[in-house]
């Protein structure tokens, strides 16, 4: 399958965000795709130890704080966070998250 439809229900709901994981693992084991929605933003700060996170903002606006640097974001922006960086985000946002390698909960630290 080469065309993936948006999953009908969230794959996870935690810390202020909902995520729908696209089931693309049979096509590629190198990259993961998640549709993220939030009304207020992420309620924790994250250090992702293995995956680079690439967020494309589809709708809304807010800000990302990466390693204590805060920058506004809005629809049409691309945010790239290499593995090992501390980050959070706030705002009402709908984003496509691309992770390489695919995200796993056990490889991140939250506080």
Reported as a single tens digit per residue, the pLDDT across 25-57 is: 888 989 999 999 999 999 999 999 999 999 999
pLDDT digits (tens, 9 = 90+) for 78-105: 999 999 999 999 999 999 999 999 888 7
* pLDDT above 90: residue 109: no
Fold classified for 32-103: Jelly Rolls (2.60.120)
pLDDT digits (tens, 9 = 90+) for 9-30: 999 999 999 999 999 988 898 9
User: How many beta carbons lie within 10 A of that of residue 16, not counting itself?
Assistant: 15
- How is the chain split into domains, by residue range? 32-103
Query: What pTM does this model have?
Result: 0.93
Burial of 66 (0-12, 13-18, 19+ CB in 10 A): middle
So what's the pLDDT on residue 26?
Answer: 87
So what's the pLDDT on residue 16?
Answer: 95
């Amino acid at each position: 399958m080469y065309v993936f439809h948006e999953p009908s229900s969230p794959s996870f709901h935690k810390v202020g965000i909902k995520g729908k994981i696209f089931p693309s693992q049979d096509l590629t084991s190198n990259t993961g795709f998640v549709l993220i929605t939030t009304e207020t933003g992420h309620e924790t700060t994250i250090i992702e130890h293995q995956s680079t996170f690439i967020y494309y903002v589809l709708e809304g606006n807010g800000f990302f704080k990466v390693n204590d640097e805060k920058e506004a974001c809005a629809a049409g922006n691309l945010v790239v966070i290499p593995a090992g960086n501390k980050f959070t985000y706030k705002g009402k946002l709908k984003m496509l998250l691309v992770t390489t390698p695919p995200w796993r909960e056990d490889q991140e630290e939250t506080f």
